Structure 1
Amino acid sequence: MAKRDVSAGRSLQWSLLRAFLAVVETGSLSAASHRVSATQPTLSRQIRELESILGTPLFVRGARGLDPTEAALRLVDDARAMAAAADAITLKALGQSTTLSGTVRLTSSVMVANMWLPRILAELRIAEPDIQIELIPSDLNQNLLRRDADIAIRMADPTQDALIARKLGEAPVGLYGAQSYIARRGRPTTMNELITHDVIGFDRSEVILKLYAAAGHSVAREAFPIRCDDQMVGWGLLMAGAGLGFAQVMLGEREETLERLDFDLVPPMPVWLVMHEEVRSSARIRRVADFLAASLKRLL
C-alpha cells in the first residue's frame, strides 16, 4: 500500500504563515504573540500544524529563543511577500470606507500622547461620537505599512515609501530648570558651567551626548546623574527639581515653577502627521487626520 502524504488535502492558510513569520522575526513565541495579538498556545499550535503540512521542522530551541531551521529560512522571503500582499488588501479595503464610524488607530510619542492629545481627543469625541480611537503611545515608530497604526504623529521626517505626510509645524525645545533647583544650585550661563550641573539625561539614547559634542563638549553618559529614556518620567523629574532638563517650549512656558535657561542646544522638532496612502480615502481616517492636523496646528 502506498504511503499516504500527511499534508494531502490540507491547505496552507495565511494564518499559519503569519504565525511563522512573527516567530521568525521576533525570535520567540511570547514576542510573536504580542505582535499578532494571539496567545502563545495558539501560535505554538499553528507552528506545529505548519510543520505537519510541510513535513519538516521549522524551529529549534536555542540559547536566545527559537532559531529557524534551514527549511524555515527558505520560506521567509515568500512569507514576507504574502504578508505584504495581505497588508495591501487590508489597506485598500479600509480606503473604501465612507462612513464616519468605526475604529482609527493613532500612534504618537509617549510625551505627545500624554501632554498634547488628551484635550484634542476629548474634543474629537464630542465632534465625532461614532469614531473610536485606539491610542498607541510609543517612542518607537510604528509600521504604518503593516497597519500597526492608521495615523502617526512623528517628530522626524518620514522615510517609508507609500506614506502621505503633512508637516504641521515645529516644536521648539529649550533647557529648563525648576525654581527649587535654581535656588539650590544657581543658574548656569555657559557650557562650562552647565557641565557641572545636574542635567537629566537619557539612558540608551545618545541624543543629548551628541548635542553636547556639537557644542564643543564631549561628555560620557555618566555626566548625567539621572538617566531615563521615558520622556514623561524625565518631565516629572524636571518638575520635581531633580535636575535641569530639555523640554518642549510650549510645555515649559505653561509651568510657573519652571524657568527657561539661555541655551540654544536643540533645533526645533518637526511635527508630521503621517498615514498610508491607501487609507486616506477612508472617510473616518481622513476625518480624524484632518481634525488632528487642524488641532495640532493651533497648538503649535
Structure 2
Amino acid sequence: MNNEQPGWELYRSFLAVVREGSLSGAARQLGLTQPTVGRHVDALEEALGVGLFTRSQGGLAPTEAALSLVPHAEAMSMAAEALRRAASGEAEEDRGTVRITASEMIGTEVLPSILAAFCEKHPRIAIELVLSNRTDDLIRRDADIAIRMVRPTQTSLVAKKCGTIGLGLHAHKNLIQRFGMPQSVEDLTQYPIIGFDRESSIRRLKDLGGFPLSRELFAFRCDSDVGQFAALRAGVGFGMCQYPLALRYPDLVSVLPGAIDFELDVWIAMHEDLKTSRRMRLMFDHLAEEMSAYVRHGAREAAEKAAAK
C-alpha cells in the first residue's frame, strides 16, 4: 500500500463494478470508457495493496477485501450526492435539487399529484424520489426529506406529524359478488386473502384484529406493497388498504370495518442542517400541508360513511 490517498473517482468506479459485475457495465453506468474504469480499479488495488476482483463465468466477482470496502464506498457515494444537491442551488433561492424518500405506497399512489403541484409552483427545483422504508436515510444523507410512518427518533432531525392514516380490509366489488361479504373475522379462512411471502414480513404484523396470520392463509403472496395493492384492485383477493387511498377507487369495498383495522402515523422529517435552505423549506412545508390534507380527507370520509350506516 502506498501513502497516497485514493481519490473518490477510484472508489466511484470500484463501486460501479461491484454493482454491475463488469467493467463494461460500470463504464455504461458512469458514462466512462471501459479502459478508464479498468485503470481506476487497477490504481485502487495498487493504492490499497489488495486484490479487489477475481474473474468468474458471470464477470468480475468482488473479493472479501472488496466486500469489506463496499459500505464505506457507499457512504462516500451518498456524501458526494449530498454535496452535489447542496451545491445545486443557492440557499435563499427556489432552485436546485431536493431528494425525497418515501414508502412504496406513498411514493407511487399519493405523492405524484402532490409533487406535480409543487413543480408547477417551483419549476426550477428538480426532484429526486427514492422508494424506501429505511429509517436512517436522513442521517446517512441518502435523502434530504423523508415521509415516514413512524416517529423519527434522531435528535438531529426536524420532524412534523401530519396525522394518522387508518388501514382496513378491502376487496373489489366483483369479488364480494362472487364470494359474498364475510360476516366475521373467522369467516376469512374461507376467502382468498392477499398477504406477504416472507415470514419476516408476516411477523411484523403479528395479527390483525385478533386474527392470527400465517403464510398458508394467503392465497396471493407478495412482499411488495405496490404488488399487493395492484392485486387488490384487480380482484385477486381481500387485502389491507389505506382508507383515504381506497376512496380514490370506487370499486374497492371496505370489509368488516372496525374489526380488522390499524393505524399509521405520518411524519415529514429532514436533517436540521437543511433548515436554512429555501428549497428544502418550501418542499418540507408543501409536503406537510398536502399529506395532512390527505389524512384529513380520509378521516372525514370515513366518519361520514360510519354516520350513514
TM-score per shorter chain, which class?
0.7 to 0.9
Deviation string 1:175-210 (CA, Å, 9 cap, x unpaired) is: 111111111111113221112211111223645555
Which of 223, 239, 242 is the aligned partner of 2:217? Answer: 223
Mapping for residues 257-296 of structure 1, pairs under 5 Å: 257-262=251-256, 263-296=258-291
Deviation string 1:121-180 (CA, Å, 9 cap, x unpaired) is: 121122112112122234455722343221111112334553222211111101111111
8 Å Cα contact 1:131-1:284 kept in structure 2:
yes
Q: Which residue pairs with 2:306 in the alignment? A: none
8 Å Cα contact 1:107-1:137 kept in structure 2:
yes
- Structure 1 residue 17 displacement after superposition: 4.4
- Structure 1 residue 232 displacement after superposition: 2.5
Which of 24, 34, 40 is the aligned partner of 1:46? Answer: 40
Which of 95, 103, 121 is the aligned partner of 1:109? Answer: 103
8 Å Cα contact 1:142-1:149 kept in structure 2:
no
Instruction: Tell me which moved more, 157-166 or 182-191.
Output: 157-166
Residue 81 to residue 138, structure 1, CA distance change in 2 (3 Å): closer
**Is 1:193 the counterpart of 2:187 in the alignment?**
yes
Paired amino acid for 1:252: A
- Structure 1 residue 98 displacement after superposition: 1.7
Instruction: Tell me which moved more, 202-211 or 235-244.
Output: 202-211
Paired amino acid for 1:293: A
Mapping for residues 145-224 of structure 1, pairs under 5 Å: 145-160=139-154, 162-204=156-198, 206-208=200-202, 211=205, 213=207, 215-224=209-218
Return the TM-score normalized by structure 1. Answer: 0.77
Paired amino acid for 1:233: G
Name structure 1 gaps, 5 residues minimum: 1-5
- Structure 1 residue 289 displacement after superposition: 1.0
- Structure 1 residue 283 displacement after superposition: 0.9
Give the distance between the partners of 2:76 and 2:250, measured in 1 at CA. Answer: 55
Q: Which residue pairs with 1:28 in the alignment? A: 18
Residue 181 to residue 134, structure 1, CA distance change in 2 (3 Å): same
Secondary structure of the 1:145 match is coil
Q: Which residue pairs with 1:239 in the alignment? A: 233
Give the distance between the partners of 2:216 and 2:81, measured in 1 at CA. Answer: 44
Q: Which residue pairs with 1:129 in the alignment? A: 123
Instruction: Tell me which moved more, 110-119 or 134-143.
Output: 134-143
Return the TM-score normalized by structure 2. Answer: 0.75
- Structure 1 residue 261 displacement after superposition: 1.5
Deviation string 1:4-38 (CA, Å, 9 cap, x unpaired) is: xx958x55323334555x48xxx93428989xx63
Residue 142 to residue 265, structure 1, CA distance change in 2 (3 Å): same
Mapping for residues 1-150 of structure 1, pairs under 5 Å: 12-17=6-11, 22=15, 28-30=18-20, 38=30, 41=34, 44-59=38-53, 65-69=61-65, 97-140=91-134, 143-150=137-144
Deviation string 1:218-275 (CA, Å, 9 cap, x unpaired) is: 4431210111122223222212221111000001133322221224434211111121
Paired amino acid for 2:223: D
- Structure 1 residue 111 displacement after superposition: 1.5
- Structure 1 residue 213 displacement after superposition: 3.5
Residue 94 to residue 204, structure 1, CA distance change in 2 (3 Å): farther
Paired amino acid for 1:238: L
Secondary structure of the 2:126 match is strand
Give the distance between the partners of 1:118 and 1:88, measured in 2 at CA. Answer: 23
Give the distance between the partners of 1:207 and 1:65, measured in 2 at CA. Answer: 30
8 Å Cα contact 1:109-1:139 kept in structure 2:
yes
The structure whose RCO (Cα within 8 Å, separation 6+) is larger is 1
Residue 159 to residue 90, structure 1, CA distance change in 2 (3 Å): farther
Equivalent pairs, count: 286
Secondary structure of the 1:267 match is strand
Name structure 2 gaps, 5 residues minimum: 296-309
Task: Percent identity, please.
Answer: 35
Instruction: Tell me which moved more, 216-225 or 103-112.
Output: 216-225
- Structure 1 residue 88 displacement after superposition: 8.3
Deviation string 1:59-115 (CA, Å, 9 cap, x unpaired) is: 55699941333x995x78987997898788778768972211111112212211222
